[in-house]
Amino acid sequence: MTSTRTPITVAYGDGIGPEIMAATLQILEAAGAALDIETIEIGEAVYKRGISAGIEPSAWESLRRTKVFLKAPITTPEGGGFKSLNVTVRKTFGLFANIRPCQAYAPFVSTQHPTMDVVIIRENEEDLYGGIEHRQTEDVVQCLKLITRPGTERIVRYGFEYARRYGRHKVSCFTKDNIMKLTDGLFHEVFDEVASEYPDLESEHWIVDIGAAKLADTPENFDVVVLPNLYGDILSDVAAQIAGSVGLAGSANIGQEVAMFEAIHGSAPRRAGQDLANPSGLLLGAVQMMVHIGQGDVATKVHNAWLRTIEEGIHTYDIFTPGHSREKVGTSGFADAVVARLGEIPEILPAVSYPISSEPIRIELSPRHQSRKSQAGIDVFVEWDPNDVESLAKGLEECAGPDFRLLMITNRGQKVYPGGAPETFCVDHWRCRFEGNDSDIVTTSELVSLLGKLDRAGIPFIKTEGLFRFDGKPGYSLGQGQ
């Protein structure tokens, strides 16, 4: 038997983590899961030892060895210096796809959306989660939003492949590309490109505000939803909550080699140590893990016993509602109830059936086109008196010639020179756009000389961004009001 056991790494986490992990492992074991468990310590205790990532080298070694991580929620200490361990693990191992099924279990768990069955597929590494933030001036901080073509293609393809594999019919995508024309625009563009390769699946794009409103109002009209990281973070909580409870949703973080399985909720320290917490989110994450490691029979058994427990009204406090619920149980009572039902299938809720073993979804990226890149100019960001665009413009105009011309100055993206509106509120952070005077070709020495002139003129620049054309097409946004 031992030789067929699958090694996995387990972390008990913080807050309610240890209790819900114990419950989850108890159920897996009773269901006959063939696991060889390595336990690692992560989270609060490790942070408190002064390790800012919350994870030690030996734990990384375990994860590299087993390539499968069942993780309970952890608490990231508040305040500067500590990094989110979730994000670190996801990015270190390239766990690019975050799969979050959000399903209603009506009438046993109250919901306004009894037929809801949505899978959120969230990009897991990029977007505003890069954590690249800077304070640039007295008044202004910024966060860099990075969207990449390969990162987007991976997640979008994963969404379509997932839909095909699990017999889903529609893939929706939400972005805000009416505002973020380049970043969200790329996500949308790649979505449309990939969608055209899956004519068997319906596809649609919504602007995220109205898309989110529709998802919250009529989730039964959605099936698989593919989202950039931050929208996916927000909308997976919304979707899980309106399906019944964030406490019921599990999540799989999938990479090419390594995968991590977890609940979508946090460590809920206020509920810790009282045998109260609902282990269902982590348990359903573990069900995804069992499918992933080729023990689909165990996944089926556990999931069906869990459904049976839920429909019998054996509920933890968080989903207990008089009328729907029959018996209020704690964490361990719930685990015992699921164990007692192993081998049963639900009578009213649809039973699940996973293939015993299934190949992981593998993603091949399409061949890349190499664009011709040229530099047309530069945006120089400077710190300057919020109330004195005139003196700034004068100084910049003097620095521009003969290689450049000053095209515009914007403040928080709004054009204020030439020809700004007197009402526009300004801060001490100015974007000054210089375009090369001789066609497209701006040289590095011209750029350096421009910056040298600004320096000598006493105009402090805080950063620059190149204005590049790709196959002649501008790779930068225009100023609002330009």
Residues interacting with ligand IPM, by CB under 6 A? 84, 86-87, 233, 264
CA distance 275 to 294: 32
In angstroms, give the least distance from the CB of 267 to Mg ion. 12
Q: Which does 140 bind (CB under 5 to 8 A by kind): Mg ion, ligand IPM, none?
A: none
Closest to ligand IPM by CB, 84 vs 374, is: 84
- The answer to whether 283 and 264 have CB atoms below 8 angstroms apart is no
Single-letter amino acid, residue 239 = A
Interaction partner, residue 66 (ligand IPM, Mg ion, none; CB < 5-8 Å by kind): none
CA atoms lying within 13 Å on the CB side of residue 299: 20
- Least Å distance, CB 442 to ligand IPM, is 39
Task: Please check whether residue 392 is in contact with residue 430, taking contact to mean a CB–CB distance below 8 angstroms.
Answer: yes
Q: Which is nearer to ligand IPM, 15 or 244 (CB)?
A: 15
Minimum distance, C-beta of residue 113 to ligand IPM, in the bound complex (Å): 21
Q: Is 397 helix (H, G, I), strand (E, B) or coil?
A: helix
Closer by beta carbon to ligand IPM, 68 or else 393:
68
Cα-Cα-Cα-Cα dihedral sign, residues 152, 155, 158, 162: negative
Handedness of CA 436, 439, 444, 446 (dihedral sign): negative
Which residue, 115, 103, 107, is CA-closest to 324?
107
Question: From the CB of 281, what's the least distance to ligand IPM, in Å?
Answer: 11
Residue count of the chain, please give it: 482
Nearer to ligand IPM, 137 or 245 (CB): 245
Distance CA 313, CA 193 (A): 46
- Rounded to the nearest whole angstrom, what is the least distance from the CB of residue 141 to ligand IPM in the complex? 19
Q: Decide which of ligand IPM, Mg ion, none touches 84; Cβ closer than 5 to 8 Å per partner kind.
A: ligand IPM
- Residue 390 parent element (H or E): helix 389-400
Minimum CB distance to Mg ion, residue 95 (Å): 15
Nearest approach, Cβ of residue 9 and ligand IPM (Å): 18
User: Which element (helix H / strand E) includes 152?
Assistant: helix 149-165
Residue nearest to ligand IPM (CB): 84
Give the nearest distance from C-beta 177 to ligand IPM in angstroms: 22
Chain centroid to Cα 408, Å, comes to 35
Residue for token pair 């095209």: 407
CB of 246 to Mg ion, least distance (A): 9
Q: Rule CB under 5 A: which residues touch Mg ion?
A: 233
Structure tokens that stand for 482 in this block: 């330009």
- For residue 385, list its beta bridge partners: none
* Nearer of residues 233 and 297 to ligand IPM, judged by Cβ: 233
Using alpha carbons only, give the angle 264, 269, 273 rounded to the nearest 5 degrees: 110
Residue carrying the six token digits 């007295």: 138
CA distance 244 to 250: 13
Least distance to Mg ion, CB of residue 233, Å: 4
Given the complex with ligand IPM, which of 44 and 312 has the nearer CB atom?
A: 44
Amino acid at 161: E
Element at 151 (helix H, strand E): helix 149-165
Two tokens at 316?
């933890």
In terms of CB distance, is 14 or 233 closer to ligand IPM? Answer: 233
Nearer to ligand IPM, 87 or 201 (CB): 87
Indicate the residue among 233 and 446 with the shorter CB distance to Mg ion: 233
CA distance 109 to 348: 13
Q: Are 266 and 86 in contact (CB under 8 A)?
A: no
Closer by beta carbon to Mg ion, 231 or else 334: 231
- Which of ligand IPM, Mg ion, none is residue 87 near (CB under 5 to 8 Å by kind)? ligand IPM
Say if residues 13 and 71 touch (Cβ distance below 8 Å).
Answer: yes
